[in-house]
Structures are given as C-alpha cells and as structure tokens.
Amino acid sequence: MTSSLESFYFVYILRCNDGTLYTGIARDVEKRLAEHNGSPKGAKYTRSRRPLFLAYHESCSDKSSALKREKAIKKMTRSQKEALLESSKQI
C-alpha cells in the first residue's frame, strides 16, 4: 500500500551556489536535493554549482502533470521564475 504522498510528483526549483536556478521533478524532493548536493545521481548541471538550496516546490497529481509544469517553468524568463519564487514566500 502506498501513502497518499507517494502518489504525487513534485516540481522543484533549486537555487545554485552561483545564483542560477535549476528546475526538475521528483517524488521525494528532500531525497532528490540530497542527491544533487552529494551524490553522483545529481544532474551534471548541478555538480559544479554546489551547494544547492530548495527555493520552490509544488505538488502535481501525476508524472505527466509534473512534466508539463516543469516544461512551462523552464520556458519562463529568469524574472518570471523569480516572481514565482517570491509569490510562494507570501503564502
């Protein structure tokens, strides 16, 4: 039996040490952040930009929705992404 959280996917944005933003999806955001920060399983992009900090995450009901949202976020300009991060802090 899976818990209700295990059925969700999350879209996340990491703030890299050099100030850049990295967007991805995962079932377990904290585990994925740990992989990015210290494991060979981290994305090639993030390996040279450690440490990374979780700046934003949102849940999606399934993988397809998460992939679509990830794609939409990746198409945003830097200022649009920063606005998304700011708006999430106010909630």
Domain that holds residue 25: 9-81
**What pLDDT does 4 receive?**
54
CATH number at residue 36: 3.40.1440.10
Residue 2 has pLDDT above 50, yes or no: no
Specify if 3 maps to a domain: no
**pLDDT tens readout for residues 49-88:** 999 999 999 999 999 999 999 999 999 999 999 999 999 9
- Tell me if residue 4 falls in helix, strand or coil: coil
Q: How many domains does the chain have?
A: 1
Q: Are 45 and 3 in contact (CB under 8 A)?
A: no
Strands 9-15 and 21-26: antiparallel
**What pLDDT does 32 receive?**
96
Specify if 52 maps to a domain: yes
Q: Are 85 and 74 in contact (CB under 8 A)?
A: no
Q: Are 32 and 12 in contact (CB under 8 A)?
A: yes
pTM for the structure as a whole: 0.90
**What pLDDT does 72 receive?**
99
Specify if 17 maps to a domain: yes
- Rounded Cα distance between 21 and 63, Å, is 21
**pLDDT tens readout for residues 6-56:** 679 999 999 999 999 999 999 999 999 999 999 888 899 999 999 999 999
